[in-house]
Amino acid sequence: MPVVVDLVPGPAFKTLDGGEIESTVETDTDVNGRWSLPLEQSSNIDPSTSYYRVREMIPQVKGGTRTWFFRVPGTNAILHDCLVAPSVANAIVRPTIVTSTTRPSTPFVGQIIFETDTGKVLYYYGSTVGWQPAWNSEWGEIANIQMTAPFTTQSTSYVDVPALTNNSLFTAVAGRRYLTTINCWVAVTGGVGNLFTRIVKADGSTIVRDQAFQNSTATAWLDNCYYESRNVETAGVQGRRFQINVSVGTVTGQIDANASHPANLTVYDVGPSAAPVIT
């Protein structure tokens, strides 16, 4: 059985004479699975934080490759007594190369895969959370709805802006934080009046964020609308609804949008709010 031993993190030299240490050495086990190698003792290695990695190339049917990390003492020793825990940086494991349709059927928590068709690197967080990107990173934009035609109303109570409403916009993961943003062009015409806007959840009443646009003199005005709110959600399908109304029913409130200035409602995953639910 082949055995490969190399230095981590990389090239290293003898402290005593500056000679470079062979970076990789190989040997084979005997029929009993034993092997031995002469190696430079760690106290004579520069950089001093270096350590050895050994890979025993065991066939997959016998359990697969085993990897250990160790430092070499000043006297002959057995591997068991020389083992060390690798530093985090050096303990990065090689992802299993799969596609999105050939993920491991019996994954273990912490297993890493690289999906060649989607390019995603995913970690297994158990049956509840499943395969996800690294928990402590931002997962980025997860949903967007865009409106490219104007919407008007004279309603004095909140009404949905249909093109900026979706009751099943995204699937939330417990323990994640979400940022919802709205960017649009708002207007009032036909008289003096105020415009009220808000983003609510799928129930139509739980406010994510609201903002009023008030003007006491102008009979027609335009303004910029951009705001955001950060929320923690319960796991499952979640919605967002953008709603508006006007202060008096004689004026017209408008969300102005076209191809040159579309209105966007976007939801981002901005990182964890708690540890993942591992099951």
Partner 1 sequence: MTYVDPFFTFADPGIVDAGGPVAGVYPYGFYPADPYIGMAIFDSTFGNVLYYYGPILGWRPNWGTAWGFVTDIQLASTYAVTTAEADITGLTVSWTAVQNRKYLVRMNIRYSSAPESIGTTVVLTDAGNIHKMEQTVSVQGTSQNKGKELTLTERYLAYGSGTVTRKGRASKSAPADTKNLGPDNSIDVFDLGPFGGPAYLPLSACLWNSSTWNSCSWS
- Tell me which residues in 40-69 interact with partner 1 (CB under 8 A): 40-41, 53-56, 64-69
**Rounded Cα gap, residues 246 and 213, in angstroms:** 10
Which of 13, 86, 209, 239 contacts partner 1 by CB under 8 A? 86
Sign of the Cα torsion 124, 127, 128, 130 reads positive
217 binds partner 1 (CB under 8 A): yes
- Going along 159-206, which residue ranges are E strands? 159-172, 176-189, 195-201
Across the strands, what pairs with 112? Answer: 123
Shortest CA distance to 42 belongs to which of 68, 10, 7?
7
Closer by beta carbon to partner 1, 53 or else 159: 53
Closer by beta carbon to partner 1, 67 or else 154: 67
Q: How far is the CB of 203 from partner 1 (least distance, A)?
A: 27
134 binds partner 1 (CB under 8 A): yes
89 binds partner 1 (CB under 8 A): yes
Q: Which amino acid is at 224?
A: N
Q: Which two tokens stand for residue 197?
A: 């806007």
Closer by beta carbon to partner 1, 79 or else 235: 79
Closer by beta carbon to partner 1, 216 or else 279: 216
10 binds partner 1 (CB under 8 A): yes
Closer by beta carbon to partner 1, 81 or else 203: 81
Q: What's the angle, vertex CA 42, arms to CA 37 and CA 45, rounded to 5?
A: 110
140 binds partner 1 (CB under 8 A): yes
Spell out the residues 6+ positions from residue 112 whose beta carbon is closer than 8 angstroms to its own.
93, 94, 95, 96, 121, 122, 123, 124
204 binds partner 1 (CB under 8 A): no
72 binds partner 1 (CB under 8 A): yes
